[in-house]
Amino acid sequence: MKWMCSLSLAVSLALQPALAEVRFGPHPLTPEARDAYVTDLLGQMTLDEKIGQLRLISVGPDNPKEAIRDMIQKGQVGAIFNTVTRPDIRAMQDQVMALSRLKIPLFFAFDVVHGQRTIFPIPLGLAASWDVDAVKQVGQISAREAADDGLNMTWAPMVDVSREPRWGRVSEGFGEDTWLTSVMGRTMVEAMQGKSPADRYAVMTSVKHFAAYGAVEGGKEYNSVDMSPQRLFQDYLPPYKAALDAGSGGVMVALNALNGVPAAADSWLLKEVLRKDWKFTGITISDHGAIKELIKHGVAKDPRDAVRIALQSGVNMSMSDEYYSQYLPDLVKRGVVSQADLDDAVRHVLNVKYEMGLFNDPWNHLGAQESDPADTNAESRLHREAARDVARKSMVLLKNHQGTLPLQKHGTIALIGPLADSQRDIMGSWSAAGRADQAVTLLQGMKNAIAGKATLLYAKGANVTDHKGIQDFLNLYEQAVSVDARTPQQMLDEAVATAQKADVVVLAIGEAQGMAHEASSRSDITVPASQQALLKALKATGKPLVVVLMNGRPLALVQEDRQADALLESWFSGTEGGNAIADVLFGDYNPSGKLPMSFPREVGQVPVYYNHLPTGRPYNPEKPNKYTSHYFDTANGPLYPFGYGLSYTTFSVSPVILSSPTMSRGDTLRASVTVTNTGERDGATVVQLYLQDPVASLSRPVRELKGFQRVMLKKGEAKTVSFPIDVSALTFWNARLQQVAEPGEFNVFIGLDSVRTQQASFSFR
Ligand code: NOJ
Q: Which residue type, as a one-letter code, is found at position 477? A: Y
Q: Rounded distance, CA 576 to CA 119, Å?
A: 8
Whether the per-residue pLDDT at 624 is higher than 90: the answer is: yes
Residue nearest to atom 9 of ligand 1 (CA): 288
- 386-605, which class in CATH? alpha beta
Whether the per-residue pLDDT at 324 is higher than 50: the answer is: yes
| Mutation choice for ligand 1 from 205, 287, 291, 517, CB with most ligand atoms inside 8 A | 287
Q: Tell me which residue of 660, 664, 661, 668 sits closest to 724, measured CA to CA.
A: 668
Q: How far is the CA of 400 from the centre of ligand 1 (A)?
A: 38
| Mutation choice for ligand 1 from 59, 203, 319, CB with most ligand atoms inside 8 A | 319
Q: Which residue type, as a one-letter code, is found at position 542? A: G
Whether the full predicted model's pTM is greater than 0.85, yes or no, is yes
Binned at pLDDT 50, 70 and 90, residue 294 comes out as very high
pLDDT value of residue 367 = 87
Strand partners, 414: 457, 505
| H-helix segments, 255-300 | 267, 293-297
Q: How far is the CA of 295 from the centre of ligand 1 (A)?
A: 19
Is 561 annotated in the active site?
no
Nearest ligand 1 atom, CA 255: 3
pLDDT, one tens digit per residue, over 127-145 is 999 999 999 999 999 999 9
Does domain 651-764 sit in CATH 3.40.50.720? no
pLDDT, one tens digit per residue, over 494-537 is 999 999 999 999 999 999 999 999 999 999 999 999 999 999 99
Nearest ligand 1 atom, CA 82: 11
pLDDT, one tens digit per residue, over 701-754 is 999 999 999 999 999 999 999 999 999 999 999 999 999 999 999 999 999 999
Q: Rounded distance, CA 107 to CA 111, Å?
A: 14
pLDDT value of residue 66 = 87
Q: How far is the CA of 313 from the centre of ligand 1 (A)?
A: 20
Whether the per-residue pLDDT at 435 is higher than 60: the answer is: yes
Q: How high is the mean pLDDT of the chain? A: 95
Mean pLDDT value of segment 659-679: 98
pLDDT, one tens digit per residue, over 453-495 is 999 999 999 999 999 999 999 999 999 999 999 999 999 999 9
Whether the per-residue pLDDT at 4 is higher than 90: the answer is: no
Percent of the chain with pLDDT over 90: 94
Nearest ligand 1 atom, CA 209: 5
Higher-scoring residue by pLDDT: 110, 19: 110
3-class DSSP assignment, residue 747:
strand
Q: Rounded distance, CA 249 to CA 208, Å?
A: 12
Strand partners, 150: none
Residue nearest to atom 3 of ligand 1 (CA): 287
Beta strands in 365-411 (DSSP E): 396-400
Q: Tell me which residue of 235, 237, 214, 216 sits closest to 225, measured CA to CA.
A: 216
Max CA distance (Å), the chain: 83
Whether the per-residue pLDDT at 312 is higher than 60: the answer is: yes
Q: How far is the CA of 15 from the centre of ligand 1 (A)?
A: 35
Binned at pLDDT 50, 70 and 90, residue 63 comes out as confident
b/e per residue 711-733 (b: at least 16 CB within 10 A): bebeeeeebebbbebeeebbebb
Point out the catalytic residue in the list 148, 287, 343, 753: 287
| Mutation choice for ligand 1 from 518, 520, 521, CB with most ligand atoms inside 8 A | 518
Residue nearest to atom 1 of ligand 1 (CA): 288
Binned at pLDDT 50, 70 and 90, residue 9 comes out as very low
Q: How far is the CA of 287 from the centre of ligand 1 (A)?
A: 6
Shared fold status for 108-356 and 651-764: no
Residue nearest to atom 4 of ligand 1 (CA): 287
Q: Which long-range contacts (CB under 8 A, 24 or more apart) does 757-761 make?
A: 757/653, 757/688, 757/690, 757/703, 758/653, 758/654, 758/655, 758/656, 758/673, 759/656, 760/655, 760/656, 760/657, 760/658, 760/671
Q: Identify the residues whose C-beta falls under 6 Å from ligand 1.
A: 111, 155, 208, 287-288, 518
CB atoms within 10 A of CB 195: 12
Whether the per-residue pLDDT at 14 is higher than 80: the answer is: no
Nearest ligand 1 atom, CA 206: 7
Percent of the chain with pLDDT over 70: 97
- Domain range 108-356, CATH architecture: Alpha-Beta Barrel (3.20)
Nearest ligand 1 atom, CA 172: 5
Q: How far is the CA of 110 from the centre of ligand 1 (A)?
A: 9
Binned at pLDDT 50, 70 and 90, residue 376 comes out as very high
What ranges do the domains of the chain cover?
A: 108-356, 386-605, 651-764
Q: Rounded distance, CA 527 to CA 549, Å?
A: 9
Q: How far is the CA of 239 from the centre of ligand 1 (A)?
A: 18
pLDDT, one tens digit per residue, over 535-593 is 999 999 999 999 999 999 999 999 999 999 999 999 999 999 999 999 999 999 999 99
Q: How far is the CA of 160 from the centre of ligand 1 (A)?
A: 13
| Mutation choice for ligand 1 from 253, 288, 431, CB with most ligand atoms inside 8 A | 288
Mean pLDDT value of segment 410-425: 98
Mean pLDDT value of segment 243-253: 98
Higher-scoring residue by pLDDT: 286, 10: 286
Q: Tell me which residue of 709, 456, 713, 740 sits closest to 585, measured CA to CA.
A: 456
Beta strands in 392-503 (DSSP E): 396-400, 412-416, 455-459
Q: Is 32 exposed, middle or buried (0-12, 13-18, 19+ CB in 10 A)?
A: exposed
